Structure 1
Amino acid sequence: MVKAVATSPPEDHDAQEGHAMGTPIAEREFERYAEAQAARGAYLLLVHRREATGCCRRCGRVHPCEFRLRGAQLLAHFADWQAVEPALVRPYLAG
């Protein structure tokens, strides 16, 4: 089981806990995993930002660093499976 926690996630750990590749998992368990991965992607995007020097504020590498790119990939991929719909960017468009 993957738990979303408020602490910063490890940036070099992408493996699912307790599941071999290709092993079927329950839908709700996958939704929790997808939510955790999307949250991890959002976190990586938040902390790995560009400084005025053009380098990453968090790790000092040239922006965009591999962690920021990985965060964008995680968010783009797993956001489709999030159980909760994200809030509208422009809520005034809601009927």
Structure 2
Amino acid sequence: MIEKYVEVTITVKVTVDETKFTDDFMEEFRESFFSLYSIDEHCEHLAQMNARGVAHDFSDSFIEGYGPPKEMGISFEEVDLSTEVVEAIS
């Protein structure tokens, strides 16, 4: 059996409609999901969900906490992907 650690780095361009991230939306999101206080934090959260394959901008998609991505102006674009076999995890 061979075991390898592979580091995968993906760069995702995230677009959101900042007008949808109202104070009410942000407060409700924090109460129900995660303590995110800025649009940058939401973009980071959305990017990692997209990279893991759990958030998409397909026409019939639904992103938990955000709803249909088109209604929030959310879209994703993978702009870079690299992989590398590494010897150990530090």
If the length of structure 2 is used for normalisation, what is the TM-score?
0.25
Identify which of structures 1 and 2 has the higher relative contact order when contacts are C-alpha pairs closer than 8 Å and 6+ apart: 2
Structure with more of its chain in strand, by fraction: 2
Structure with more of its chain in helix, by fraction: 1
